[in-house]
Structures are given as structure tokens and as C-alpha cells.
Amino acid sequence: MDGEVNPREFAASDGCGPLMPDPLRSRLSLRQRIFEHVRAHGHAARTEISRALGVSAGSATTLTADLIQSGLLREVGLPAREQGRGRPPVALQIVPEAGYVIGIKLAKDRNTATLSDFSGKVIASAVTRFAPLKRSLTELLDQTDTLIAALLADAGMALSDMKAVGIGMAGVIDYATGSVRWSPLLHTPDEAFSVAFENRFGLPLYLENDCNMLTLAELWFGAGRAIPDFAVVTIEDGVGMGLVMNGQLYRGAWGMGLELGHTKVDLDGALCRCGKRGCLEAYLADYALVREAVAAIGIAPGDDADVLAALYDQAREGNQAAAAVFDRSARYLSLGLSNVVQLFDPALIILSSQRMDRDFLSPSELMADVQRLTLTRGQNPCRIEIRPWGDLAWARGATARALSSVTDTLFSTEAI
């Protein structure tokens, strides 16, 4: 699958979802908090639930019994490593068949989807490819329809079996209304994407900027599960950023926050595809490297992937001009990340891109450069990790968004 990460690497056997306490979740009903605790840990005994959530043993027994009766939890034996002497203890586990969701990443030249059960386990995945052209809203929905059909065929399931769909796509997304203010995938701005999707497919849609979806993948299935404050920076056809603060995805007041790629690093600098000059992504994104490869190195124009491959090859072979393109890109990346550290002070920054190449991007050198540009003076430095996740990881984040929203809807009428 073209270097894609196997979705089963995001296994749900040890649970999925944030492990860190979230002050906002404490406002939820105790029944929902018990359900989410079990899902996050994969399994949990009633005594452990009582201790972790600070509720009486009687309340834990009553509420878990109700969740079992509702078909959301089931009793299972604890793993052998957690059993002691005497009567084998019983744990609780999510009933996987309680619901299914689809997560999708829509991209320039291919769309990717995963189907997950209610425990977060991947059931099936699908990828469709096409020419890298902008589309109308109808054309994009047609492509989504083809993708979903392939996914359901792989799973042997029907659309009526699904509870909801999550979709991540590049652009400025109003997550509250499901409108796409602007996207490089669409011909026209201000498209009511979610309304059109729900009218066509008859399922609730949860739409987000794709970088937010990848951040949710880290929060639910990856390194961010046990970290309350971290950032994800993506470098592909554009430069994106997602941020988790106090265990919550941060979006800004209008969903336009964290457009790291459009922060200015040189007011009279290179032209960005947004029409302005000096944006960070005008030095880092794939299209920026392709432009440099053609204009400065003299590589023949063609498919972006082929041009980038040629640029990498020349740099490896000792072409100083090609190497200089990557050196300049790395300097601007250090500048951009230092601003992230200075503004938000995250414990971890995860860099993600399919083309991340360790030959030209050393995490240790990058951390050192970022530290030199910040006021931390080397104390408690922010960790930087490089993870070249493929599109399936982004789609997994979209399933997390759908699972979270479906769960909130399921328990929405309950009192605290």
C-alpha cells in the first residue's frame, strides 16, 4: 500500500482514547465516564473503576450492570498477567459490535478510509487514487461514495451498519457547521460540505481539518495518549499543525487557528499558494521544494513526486545546490518550530510526513536548532519526534472523532 502504515499498528487491544485526566470530561455523566475509562484502558475491573473515578463500589456495580444491560459493556476474564490467587477476577470490556464508524482522509490524489468498531479496532481499510485535480463538491462526494463502497465491500458490511463518519481534509474548515471555507481540493469556497454529505449518505458527518484528525490519531492511539500538551506538525503539499492543550484538541475561536504554514517568516519572501508572500509553507511544502528543484536546480518539470525524487537523488549524490534546498528548508522548519515552542511550550512536537527523510532531517540537530532559537536555555527542552505516518493514520484520527461524537450523543441526555 505504497508505504502506508498498517492500521493494525494502532491496535485497540490495550484500549484507545486519552489516558490523561481531562477536567472537561469530569462534567460528563458518571455512566459515560465509566464507559470511556473502560475503552481507554481496554479492560477494567469494577474495583479499579471505583478507585480511578472516585466512586463507591456500589455505584460502580450498579452503573456497570446498566451498561452491560444496554449492550455497551461485557464481562471478560482478566489477562493472565493481571490475575492473582483465588477466584479468577472479572473485568469489563467494550462490546465491539455496539457500533461502527468510518474515518476518511480526502487528499489531492488519493482518498483513504478505515472502518472501526466501538472499541476502536480497525475492521477494514480502503484507498482510491485519481488525477491530482481540483474538484466540484459533487465530484468530491462521488469520489467519497466510491471509497466508502470499497471499504464496506472489504468489511462485508452495509452503510446502514454505520453510526457516523469522520472526514479530514486540507483547508479552512468550520468544524461546528461542517462548512469548508477554503480547500485546495475544491474549485469554490464556502461549501456546505456536511449538509451535502448527510443528505446523500444519511449519516452524521464530523468534518475537521486533516491535521486535526492526525492529532486526534496521536491523542487516541499514539504517543499523545499520556501527554496533556503536545503538537503535531505536518509537512506535505502544505504545512499544518494540530495542538492538544490539557488533553483537549485546540481549534481556535473560529476554527482557523494553528495555520502554522501561513505564519510569516519573511515579509518579502517567496510566494505562497495562498497568494501572500513569506509564509512558512512557501519554504517547506512539497510545492515549494518542487519550485526550487525546477527553478534553481534545473530539474525538468513533471509530476511533483517525480521531481521530488529527483531532487533527493541529486542531493544524495553530492549536488550542492540540491543539498542547499534541503538545508534552507530545515532552517525555516527550525524557525517555525521554535515559534511553536515559544508560544505553547508543548512537551512533545511530532513531525509527520510521508516524505520525511532522515538523510536530511536529524531529530537531534533539529532539537538543538530549535533550542538555540528559544528562551528555554536548554532547560526542560521540548522533545521532537519524526513519524512518517501514511494516510491510514489520518483516517484513524477521523474514526476517533466519529467515535467521540457518537459516544457523546449516546450519553447526551444523562444527568451528571
**pLDDT tens over the chain, length 416 residues:** 343 434 334 444 579 999 987 777 778 899 999 999 999 999 999 999 999 999 999 999 999 999 999 999 999 986 655 555 555 578 999 999 999 999 999 998 899 999 999 999 999 999 999 888 899 999 999 999 999 999 999 999 999 999 999 999 988 899 899 999 989 899 999 999 999 999 999 999 999 999 999 999 999 999 899 999 999 999 888 899 999 998 899 988 766 678 899 999 998 899 998 889 999 999 998 889 999 888 878 888 888 888 888 988 898 888 899 889 888 988 999 999 999 999 999 999 999 876 665 456 677 788 888 888 988 656 778 888 888 777 899 999 999 999 999 999 999 876 55
The answer to the question of residue 381 being in a domain is yes
Are 160 and 264 found together in one domain? no
Q: Assess if residue 326 is contained within a domain.
A: yes
Tell me which of 36, 69, 96 is where a domain ends: 96
d(CA 10, CA 4) in angstroms, rounded, equals 13
Evaluate whether residue 2 is within a structural domain.
no
Pair (233, 381) in one structural domain: yes
Inside any domain, residue 162: yes
**224 located within any domain:** no
Same domain, residue pair 172 and 275: no
238 & 376 share domain: yes
Same domain assignment for residues 239 and 384: yes
Residue 51 lies in a domain: yes
pLDDT at position 1 is 38
Domain harbouring 244, CATH code? 3.30.420.40
Same domain, yes or no: 375 and 254: yes
Instruction: Identify the domain boundary among 81, 96, 111.
Output: 96
The verdict on 188 and 246 lying in the same domain is no
* 240 and 323, same domain (yes or no): yes
What is residue 236's predicted lDDT score, i.e. its pLDDT? Answer: 83
Do 372 and 234 sit in the same domain of this protein?
A: yes
Look at residue 189 and tell me if it is in a domain.
Answer: yes
- CA distance to 3, 18, 107, per residue, from 131 (Å): 19, 37, 11
pLDDT value at residue 4: 42
Contact (CB, 8 A) for 395 and 9? no
From 51, 80, 96, give the residue that closes a domain. Answer: 96
CATH number of residue 21's parent domain: 1.10.10.10
Residue 296 located in a structural domain:
yes
- 403 and 376 belong to one structural domain: no
| Total tally of structural domains belonging to the chain | 3
Q: Are residues 165 and 134 in the same domain?
A: yes
Whole-number pLDDT of residue 355? 62
Q: Which domain holds residue 362?
A: 229-346+355-388
Same domain, 81 and 156: no
